[in-house]
Structure 1
Amino acid sequence: MDDRDPPDFRKRIRESFARQAAMRTIGAELTLVEQGTVEIELPFDDKLTQQHGFLHAGVISAALDSAGTYAAYSVIDPDASILTIEFKVNLLSPGRGERFLFRGEVTKPGSTIIVSDGRGYAIRSDGPAKLIASMTGTMMVVRGREGIEG
């Protein structure tokens, strides 16, 4: 990662996250915002499960995508925005836990394309956090497009 520290990136990320209806709908919270790393957590909720009672893969993917995209957002210029253009998720274990943690980290910063990696963990009171998913995502830096700001 480069040595830039875009002014107020934490504030921009928190404001953008607050506008994300999808994250609000699933009960996600932004719990860590650092340059190049973002964490999102959410509690278990029956409404977010698939037929076997595990956290749905779509919810896992959405949370990992947001964590990785906001990690990328933390390393771009304040006048730019970011959009996901591709991601791949590996579901490694059933989403079974009391809470879930999704961490996104910038792997390769760039002026136009940024790559981030994510990890999703199930957290239970009776044991250590368990890795349930990994993701690699590619994000495009967007500048000067009407309707795509912050």
Structure 2
Amino acid sequence: MTEIDPDTVEARIRRSFARQGAMETLGAELSHISQGVVEIELRYDAKLTQQHGFLHAGVISAALDTACSYAAYTVVEPEVSLLTIEFKVNLMSPGRGERFLFRGEITKPGSNIIVADGRGYALTDGPAKLIASMTSTLMVIRGREGISG
């Protein structure tokens, strides 16, 4: 793989994230970008819960998928794009907290397929509580019309 400029990568990820209507709807914010790792934070909002008041599994999955995808963007060339082709989510504890942190980390970079793992945490006054994990598989897209970073 070619050398990737971290400043260019961060700017690209921030521009792309700003175009995500889903993350905007959820009120999600990028909080950390580094080589192989991206974190997204989200405030508790009753509109994002299921019937028991816990953060909805679909919201958790969307945030983890996005964190894993952008972590993958930190290890690819600027001219390529990515699409998630598979993920598995384990919901380990109810999504109960004031804020939530979703971290995506690259497990296996590749030229065609990238594997990332994600962890979701509920944040309160005490220690962060692990609420979910994800394993994500992403396909690298090159030169396909209509699909760009």
TM-score interval (norm. to shorter): over 0.9
Q: Using structure 2 for the length normalisation, give the TM-score.
A: 0.97
User: Is residue 107 of structure 2 the alignment partner of residue 107 of structure 1?
Assistant: yes
Who is 2:53 aligned against? 53
Who is 1:29 aligned against? 29
Structure 1 runs of 4+ with >6 Å offset: none
Report Cα offsets for 1:70-121 as digits up to 9, x if no partner: 0001110110000000000000000000000000000000000000000000
CA distance in 2, matches of 1:10, 1:132: 27
CA distance in 1, matches of 2:5, 2:53: 41
Task: Check the 8 A contact 1:91/1:134 in 2, yes or no.
Answer: yes
Task: Check the 8 A contact 1:6/1:74 in 2, yes or no.
Answer: no
SS in 1 for 2:90: strand
5+ residue gaps, structure 1: none
Q: Percent identity?
A: 72
CA distance in 2, matches of 1:90, 1:4: 34
Task: Check the 8 A contact 1:104/1:119 in 2, yes or no.
Answer: yes
Query: Cα distance 1:67–1:124, how it changes in 2: closer, same or farther (>3 A)?
Result: same
Who is 1:71 aligned against? 71
User: Is residue 74 of structure 2 the alignment partner of residue 41 of structure 1?
Assistant: no
Task: Check the 8 A contact 1:122/1:129 in 2, yes or no.
Answer: yes
Who is 1:81 aligned against? 81
Task: Check the 8 A contact 2:2/2:77 in 1, yes or no.
Answer: no
Task: Check the 8 A contact 1:6/1:77 in 2, yes or no.
Answer: no
Who is 1:133 aligned against? 132
Alignment length, in residue pairs? 148
SS in 2 for 1:78: coil
- Which amino acid counterpart does residue 92 of structure 1 have in structure 2? M
Alpha-carbon offset, residue 5 of structure 1 = 2.2
SS in 1 for 2:127: coil
